[in-house]
């Protein structure tokens, strides 16, 4: 039974739901070439930080997936709600996928293993097969904490509402061009920079830590993802709230956690100094 629940039988065909969403958002972002303004560009950049850094990087990744720090429930729910506007599926599916990635990193059970090259972890895994559409048994195994939490369950059920509300607000402020930049361009940029962590940060960059996988520290990806590109560091110390371990490894998400700590919003922060490297844990097992 244990082996049966480790990972569902992957589906092999085209994931038409995901294909339609990805293609639609890319097409709807094309008008950005004809509607540029510094105001629209600023909206996109601010939105990318709010959704990509506060939402996905801090909320879904460091807080909910790895529990690298503790936060009040209101902050958990707020960060997770912001992350839903990334259009990377509901939080329970995203977090289950990332926990599976760490459990089986760069093996045939990894949802987006980089051993096949760049395109599969960048976008292929989204467009073909299971993607993040996990079955009930897989979800129960990897995210029981979220499934039992009424607030997170509600966010996962209605994850599409925040981006619709944001689109209406942007339309009222700046019309259709602002929706193009603040929703469609932002989502497309967020997709590809997030997926760079799966692809580029498993192919190009330094590997100062022996982790038994292909993870790398990629400064370019780190800049684009507010610190998530120090990926070899992260795979060596997965529950550490700090990914940029050297003074020159800029980690915006870590800075934000420290600000939250000053405000009393982040407690029990886990650091790499307190954690054994993951390779030692694998060897001990």
Pure H helices in the chain: 2-6, 16-29, 38-48, 73-84, 91-103, 119, 125-127, 136-142, 144-147, 150-157, 161-179, 186-198, 219-224, 231-236, 252-262, 278-284
pLDDT at 283 over 60: no
Q: What is the DSSP letter of 274?
A: G
Of 28, 52, 34, nearest to 180 (Cα)?
Answer: 28
Bridge partners of 230? 217
Q: pLDDT tier at 12 (50, 70, 90 boundaries)?
A: confident
Q: Note the pLDDT tens digit of each residue in 127-144.
A: 999 999 999 999 999 999
Span 116-120, mean pLDDT? Answer: 95
Of 27, 85, 6, nearest to 52 (Cα)?
Answer: 85
* Phi then psi dihedrals of residue 124, to 5 deg: -60, -40
pLDDT at 2 over 90: no
What is the pTM for the complete model shown? Answer: 0.92
158: number of Cβ within 10 Å = 13
Of 183, 226, 196, 170, nearest to 56 (Cα)?
Answer: 226
What's the pLDDT at 9?
A: 58
Average of per-residue pLDDT values in the chain: 93
């Amino acid at each position: 039974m244990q082996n049966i629940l480790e990972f569902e039988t992957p589906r092999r065909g085209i994931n038409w739901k995901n294909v339609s969403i990805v293609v639609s958002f890319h097409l709807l972002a094309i008008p950005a070439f004809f509607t540029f303004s510094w105001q629209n560009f600023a909206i996109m950049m601010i939105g990318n930080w709010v959704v990509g850094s506060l939402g996905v990087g801090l909320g879904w990744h460091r807080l909910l997936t790895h529990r690298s720090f503790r936060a009040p429930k209101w902050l958990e729910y707020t960060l997770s709600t912001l992350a839903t506007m990334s259009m990377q599926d509901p939080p329970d599916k995203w977090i289950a996928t990332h926990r599976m990635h760490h459990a089986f990193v760069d093996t045939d059970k990894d949802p987006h293993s980089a051993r096949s090259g760049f395109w599969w972890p960048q976008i292929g895994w989204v467009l073909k097969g299971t993607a993040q559409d996990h079955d009930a048994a897989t979800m129960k195994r990897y995210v029981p904490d979220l499934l039992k939490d009424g607030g997170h369950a509600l966010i996962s059920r209605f994850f599409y509402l925040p981006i619709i509300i944001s689109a209406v607000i942007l339309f009222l402020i700046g019309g259709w061009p602002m929706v193009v930049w603040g929703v469609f361009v932002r989502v497309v940029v967020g997709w590809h920079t997030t997926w760079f962590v799966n692809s580029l940060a498993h192919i190009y960059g330094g590997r100062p830590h022996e982790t038994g996988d292909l993870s790398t520290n990629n400064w370019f990806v780190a800049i684009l993802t507010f610190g998530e590109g120090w990926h070899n560091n992260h795979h060596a110390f997965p529950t550490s709230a700090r990914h940029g371990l050297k003074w020159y490894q800029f980690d915006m998400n870590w800075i934000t956690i420290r600000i939250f700590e000053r405000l009393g919003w982040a407690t029990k922060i886990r650091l790499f100094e307190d954690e054994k490297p993951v390779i030692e844990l694998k060897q001990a097992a």
